[in-house]
Amino acid sequence: MFKENSNLSSIRKGQIEVICGSMFSGKTEELIRRLKRAKFAKLKIKTFNPHVDNRYGKSKLISHNSTEIKSLTIKKSHEILDLYDNVDIVGIDEAQFLDDELPNICNALADRGVRVIVAGLDMDYLGKPFGVIPKIMAIAEFVTKVHAVCVGCGDIALNSHRTSLSKNLVEIGSEKNYQALCRMCFIKKNK
């Protein structure tokens, strides 16, 4: 007869998941959905977001359609290791604004058996890979690319077109500063 090893049944399997796409594609909404499902399953979660994204305050993540969940604000990615408190799942929103150490932090957590869910922009307003997201995508077990709707033609949008004149790489904004555009509309707007 098979006897279950009690040590094996308590081992958690860590993994990294990435939710990426343009602005207005539902990245934060999908992150919150996954975290709320985990809470429903009685799993312990902890959520983090970078201090530079203070559009909705410092104690919660809020999607563009007002879905929200409690969150901690951090300045550096290494703070996650100090604050994660042996939880089952760590959620990280707007990860493109965090430092280059984040991929190592994600690996360290996954190696400890934590499910890490990272959400962020995969491309900047110029259509180039943005921040640490491409590096985390490379080490992730699962990558989900979500799409917005192009405001130019109604097709699927993969670009975050900046409508303001700012040339800063990081420019926190919303519908008044950005538009979601498909490839062709993005090319036309940027000629």
Q: How far is CA 92 from the centre of its chain?
A: 5
Active-site residue among 17, 29, 30, 94? 94
Which residue blocks in 116-158 are alpha helix, DSSP H? 133-139
d(CA 96, CA 124): 9
Tokens 């809020």 identify what position?
62
Q: How far, CA to CA in Å, does 100 sit from each of 13, 93, 94, 95, 158?
A: 25, 15, 14, 10, 24
Total length of the chain: 191
For 187, the enclosing helix (H) or strand (E) is: helix 183-189
Handedness of CA 95, 99, 103, 108 (dihedral sign): negative
DSSP letter for 165, please. -
Q: For the chain, what is the radius of gyration of the CA atoms?
A: 18
Which amino acid appears at position 93 of this protein?
D
Active site residue 175: no
User: Which residues are tagged catalytic?
Assistant: 94
